[in-house]
Amino acid sequence: MGKTISEKIFSFASGRDAYAGDIIVANIDAAMVHDGTALLAIEAFREIGGKALWNPSKIALVIDHVAPSSNENFSRVHRIMREFAHKYGAILYDAGSGICHQLMVESGLIYPGSLIVGADSHTCTYGALGAFATGIGSTEMAAVLMSGKLWFKVPETIRIDVNGSLPPMVLPKDIILKIIGTIGADGATYKAVEYHGETISAMSIDGRLTLCNMAVEMGAKTGIIEPDEKTLKFLLSLGVKEHIALKSDEDAEYAEKISFNVSDLEPMIACPHSVDNVRSVKEVEGKEVDQVFLGSCTNGRIEDLRIAAEILKGRRVKEGVRMIVIAASRNIYLQALREGLIDVFMEAGCIICNPGCGPCAGAHQGILAPGEVCLSTSNRNFKGRMGSAEAEIYLASPATAAATALEGRITDPRTFLKR
């Protein structure tokens, strides 16, 4: 019987013939914790008698959620993380380096065929590089830090084929919002989501990362894309030569197959308060906003900054609207500087913060007051996610974010196509 790419990765990692539904123990290739999850993991590591890390060169601690710290409790958490990384020799990405998921992608720790766990639900992002990557909790992370192993239920897979060429100003974010709106917030629970099709082949690595990042918003264990020439070229640019060339077999079994044609896709938007409450931007155009956030592990990469800057160039953000721009990593920030994008954002009146998670998780750098409306390029619009439970969050693409910031109300970015 044929296997999906996920079944092949779990077979390789467990040393047995693994199929969907099997419960297996697998070797982990790399692991990540951040400041929102590290304290519980470090405490559990101590409690279970951890004396050494299974492989310090494969374990990253990232300070990104409250970075730099905005409160004394987290200043203490950060100090504990620094001391832990120093004591056991793990990799430390300190405040200002960027968001854990972007840093992992840039780190060279991830390669096609690898099995990665992170104590963060958006760990599924790395599937864009052909890895099987999934989020876990802090206590089981402690066990991984010690042993390099973890139990898994090998997931069934939903195959999603995406074909057609994207119209101007319609972006990978619009594709994934369309998919989540169709499948629903729990439509892929416990399953892997495999993306195929000519649109995916034509898509940049940045776009693929956006697609895989949001797989968890439909409940998926991971999003995954078979590695191709583009993947290998990207990895080579990071100095990564290691890869296991894997593809799903023709006769692999899928739980479900769904196809999308994106040639006529419009800019999409997730409305409050759930990610699967998706409409076209046109349907909610005109809704006034107080804040726009461009950034996050979903849309804080260079292509996201470029498209936003293209729209903002020579224009001003609407008076009374705060537009916050945060690059997903220091490398991306530097690239944006070199390309003059930071100048464009500053001249347009944006607020530029240091690389990190920013306001996405509700810690700082743009917390919403009751009654405020935010349009964000991030991945979650849950009630209370970015501050007050009485605030509203809309999720959309970087292009929609820029257009909305200029107009002060939700705006279809195609408005700026021929101005």
Partner 1 sequence: MNVRVTGRAWKFGDNINTDLIIAGKYKLSITNIDDLSRHAMEALVPGFAEKVKRGDIIVAGKNFGCGSSREQAPLVLKHLGIGAVIAESFARIFYRNSMNIGLPALECKDVNRVSDGDILEIDLAEGCVKNLTKGEVYRVKPIPPALLEILVNGGLVNYVKKYGRLPW
Binding site for partner 1 (CB under 8 A): 23, 25, 36-37, 39-40, 44, 47-49, 65-66, 70-71, 73-74, 76-77, 118-121, 123, 135-140, 142-143, 146-147, 149-151, 153, 185-186, 189-190, 219, 221, 274, 361-363, 367, 380, 382-385, 387, 389
- The pair of structure tokens assigned to 387 is 């501050």
Looking at beta carbons only, is 37 or 397 nearer to partner 1?
37
DSSP 149: E
Q: Cα 7 to chain center, whole Å?
A: 23
Q: How far is the CB of 66 from partner 1 (least distance, A)?
A: 5
Q: How far is the CB of 135 from partner 1 (least distance, A)?
A: 4
Buried residues in 164-180 as b, exposed as e (16+ CB within 10 A): bebeebbbbbbbbbbbb
DSSP 339: T
Q: How far is the CB of 307 from partner 1 (least distance, A)?
A: 27
Looking at beta carbons only, is 143 or 265 nearer to partner 1?
143
Q: How far is the CB of 28 from partner 1 (least distance, A)?
A: 12
Looking at beta carbons only, is 44 or 399 nearer to partner 1?
44
Residue (of 166, 160, 202, 206) closest to 183 by Cα position: 160
Q: How far is the CB of 221 from partner 1 (least distance, A)?
A: 6
- The pair of structure tokens assigned to 301 is 């990469």
Residue (of 376, 378, 382) closest to 400 by Cα position: 376
Looking at beta carbons only, is 49 or 239 nearer to partner 1?
49
Q: What's the rounded Cα separation, in Å, for the pair 264 and 167? A: 7
Looking at beta carbons only, is 23 or 417 nearer to partner 1?
23
Q: How far is the CB of 46 from partner 1 (least distance, A)?
A: 10
Q: How far is the CB of 381 from partner 1 (least distance, A)?
A: 10
- Give the Å distances, CA to CA, from 182 to 177, 178, 192, 209, 407: 9, 6, 16, 20, 29
Looking at beta carbons only, is 244 or 353 nearer to partner 1?
353
- Across 239-395, the runs of DSSP E, i.e. the strands, are 256-261, 268-270, 278-280, 291-294, 322-325, 351-352, 373-376, 392-395
Looking at beta carbons only, is 136 or 232 nearer to partner 1?
136
Residue (of 397, 379, 101) closest to 215 by Cα position: 379
- The pair of structure tokens assigned to 297 is 């592990």
Q: How far is the CB of 77 from partner 1 (least distance, A)?
A: 6
Residue (of 199, 245, 251) closest to 226 by Cα position: 245
Looking at beta carbons only, is 40 or 255 nearer to partner 1?
40
Identify the H or E element spanning 192.
strand 192-196
Q: What's the rounded Cα separation, in Å, for the pair 159 and 20? A: 14
Residue (of 131, 122, 395, 200) closest to 284 by Cα position: 395
Q: How far is the CB of 123 from partner 1 (least distance, A)?
A: 8
Looking at beta carbons only, is 346 or 389 nearer to partner 1?
389
Q: What's the rounded Cα separation, in Å, for the pair 383 and 367? A: 13
Looking at beta carbons only, is 66 or 90 nearer to partner 1?
66
Q: How far is the CB of 114 from partner 1 (least distance, A)?
A: 19
| Tokens 């899928």, residue located | 254
